[in-house]
């Protein structure tokens, strides 16, 4: 089991920056993929960015060039640096951990942190 706790959300103006943090209850050396998802009001949850144990990253088109995901395996922490924020980035942001086993995958989620971008 892995518990995830997000922090760093808040209210920011258009063009501003925020850094989200996700603290895991243990080191994440054995977590194959750490990711950030978001759920805008009235919409489905969507992937924002993900990073593998080796540091390979994947970004949603809307995040490319503006957001940066990073992870510190020893500290058990994942970060999402968000720059040039837009009102459409307003959402609840969730941290996700995926651990692969031989025959199945375990998914862990944080409780979410609200990001609101004012125009």
**DSSP notation for 55-112:** --EEE-TTTTTTEEEEEETTTTEEEEEE-S--GGG-EEEEEEEEEE-SS-EEEEE---
**What is the pLDDT tens value at each position of the chain, 119 positions in all?**
899 999 999 999 999 999 999 999 988 999 999 999 999 999 999 999 999 999 999 999 999 999 999 999 999 999 999 999 999 999 999 999 999 888 888 999 999 999 999 99
Beta carbons within 8 Å of 104's beta carbon, 6+ residues apart = none
Cβ neighbours around 61 below 10 Å, total? 6
């Amino acid at each position: 089991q892995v518990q995830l706790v997000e922090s760093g959300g808040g209210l920011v103006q258009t063009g501003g920056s925020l850094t989200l943090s996700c603290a895991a209850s243990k080191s994440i050396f054995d977590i194959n993929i750490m990711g950030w998802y978001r759920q805008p009001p009235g919409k489905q949850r969507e992937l924002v960015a993900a990073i593998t144990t080796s540091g390979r990253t994947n970004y949603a088109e809307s995040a490319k060039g503006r957001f940066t995901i990073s992870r510190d395996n020893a500290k058990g922490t994942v970060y999402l640096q968000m720059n040039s924020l837009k009102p459409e980035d307003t959402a609840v942001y969730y941290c996700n951990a995926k651990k692969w086993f031989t025959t199945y995958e375990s998914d862990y989620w944080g409780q979410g942190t609200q990001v609101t971008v004012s125009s």
